[in-house]
A = this chain, B = another copy of it.
Amino acid sequence: MPNAFIRKLEGFGLLSEEHKTLLEDVSSSPRLVEADTDLISEGDKPEDVQLIMEGLAVRYKVSRAGDRQIFAYLVAGDFCDLHVALLRRMDHSIGTLTPCQVVRIPNASVLKLVEGSTMLARAFWWCTLVDEAILREWLVNVGGRPAEQRIAHLFCELHARLKAVGRTADGSFHLPLSQAELADTVGMSNVHVNRTLMALKDAGLVTFRGHVVTVPDTAKLEAFAEFDPSYLHRDRQLAPA
């Protein structure tokens, strides 16, 4: 049974058996990291790249004033820090929100993998590009949208992304975040996040209770949030080789 990482890469096209074995080899024997722990911190220059096999982690940065901005959620199959294989120095931190299964892969192995296969190189590059597209949309979100639309839009995105990997059930999905962590994501205070969530619930658009997001009417929520999923680039058609 292929793990989440391999399943993700398979979405890009054929992987040879050889590659699968290679990848399976490299992504075996994860270690368990408990919740609220940094996997890697700003300024680190690690020799390994890390890969989340299970759990939820976030990219973030903290300002001197102490407030945290979250850039991305990392789920099963996501690279933590593919960057460092090239950039060497981490310019932000990555921390777990829940207990996570994590594997380490030496930088050199990653680079060798990439250089040994055009297919893999493209797949990895593709991941980077999609991450960047999501980041752009997040900037639109915090830069322009009012509070209710902002949170609604985030929920739409997560719904779409999790649905694509079979992690939704009947319009609801699990999201192990506190309201404060949600606030750090959308650039609002925790208090206002709370009020906004209640307004969204009263409007019948979404609820977020007990780490579960429930969307009664997806189309309605997406219309409200002006959500257009095309930035997620889910049509994974690679350019002709």
Q: A residues engaging B (CB < 8 A)?
A: 43, 59, 61, 63-65, 67, 69, 71, 83, 85-89, 91-92, 107-108, 111, 115, 118, 121-122, 125-126, 128-133, 135-136, 138-140, 142-145, 186-187, 226, 230-231, 233, 235, 237-240
Contact = CB atoms under 8 A, between A and B. Distances in A.
A145 B85 contact: no
Contact of A132 (B111, B135, B237): B135
A236 to B, nearest CB: 10
B135 A187 contact: no
Of residues A83, A118, A136, which shows the largest number of chain B Cβ atoms within 10 Å of its Cβ?
A136
Given A118-B115, A128-B125, A239-B107, A142 B86 contact: no
Nearest to A233: B87
Nearest to A67: B144
A135 B130 CA distance: 13
Of residues A63, A143, A230, which shows the largest number of chain B Cβ atoms within 10 Å of its Cβ?
A143
B88 A239 contact: yes
Contacts of A235: 89
**How many copies of the shown chain assemble into the complex?**
2
Nearest to A85: B239
Given A129-B86, A226-B63, A143 B69 contact: yes
A187 B129 contact: no
A160 to B, nearest CB: 14
A213 B115 CA distance: 43
A17 B83 CA distance: 29
11 contacts: A63-B145, A64-B226, A86-B126, A87-B233, A92-B136, A121-B121, A131-B132, A132-B135, A138-B139, A142-B142, A142-B187
A87 B144 contact: no
Contacts of A233: 87, 89, 91
A128 B128 contact: yes
Contact of A63 (B59, B138, B140, B230): B140
A121 B86 CA distance: 11
B67 A122 contact: no
Contacts of A142: 139, 142-143, 187
